[in-house]
Amino acid sequence: MSHRVTLAHGSGGVMMLELLSKIILSKIPPHLKATPGGAGVDLLDDGAAIKLSDDLYVVLSIDSYTVSPQFFPGGDLGKLAASGTINDLVAMGARPVAMLDSIVVEEGYPLELLDKITSSLVSVLESCGVALVGGDLKVMPRGQIDGVIITTVGLGVTRRPILDVDLRPGDKIVVTGYIAEHGATIMAIQQGIDIEELRLESDCKPLIDLLKVLDRYREHIHAARDPTRGGVATVLNEWARETKTLIVIDRASIPVRENVKRFCEMMGVDPLYLACEGVMLLGVDSSVSEEVVAELRAIGFENARVIGEVKKSDKYPGLVVCKTEAGGLRIIEPLRGELVPRIC
Q: Please tell me the distance from the alpha carbon of residue 327 to that of residue 37, in angstroms, as a whole number.
A: 45
- Half-sphere CA count of 141, side-chain side, radius 13 A: 1
Going from the C-alpha of 225 to that of each of 154, 165, 173, 221, the distances in angstroms are: 16, 12, 11, 11
What is the pTM assigned to this prediction?
0.95
Q: Spell out the domains of the chain, with CATH numbers in brackets.
A: 34-158 (3.30.1330.10), 164-331 (3.90.650.10)
List per-residue pLDDT tens for the chain, 344 residues long.
568 999 888 888 888 888 889 999 999 999 999 999 999 999 989 999 999 999 999 999 999 999 999 999 999 999 999 999 999 999 999 999 999 999 999 999 999 999 999 999 999 999 999 999 999 999 999 999 999 999 999 999 999 999 999 999 999 999 999 999 999 999 999 999 988 889 999 999 999 999 999 999 999 999 999 999 999 999 999 999 999 999 999 999 999 999 999 999 999 999 999 999 999 999 999 999 999 999 999 999 999 999 999 999 999 999 999 999 888 899 999 887 777 888 89
Closest listed residue to residue 180, CA positions, set 227, 249, 225, 223: 227
Task: Provide the 10 A C-beta neighbour count for residue 262.
Answer: 13
Ramachandran sector of residue 199 (left: φ over 0; alpha: ψ -120 to 50; beta: rest): left
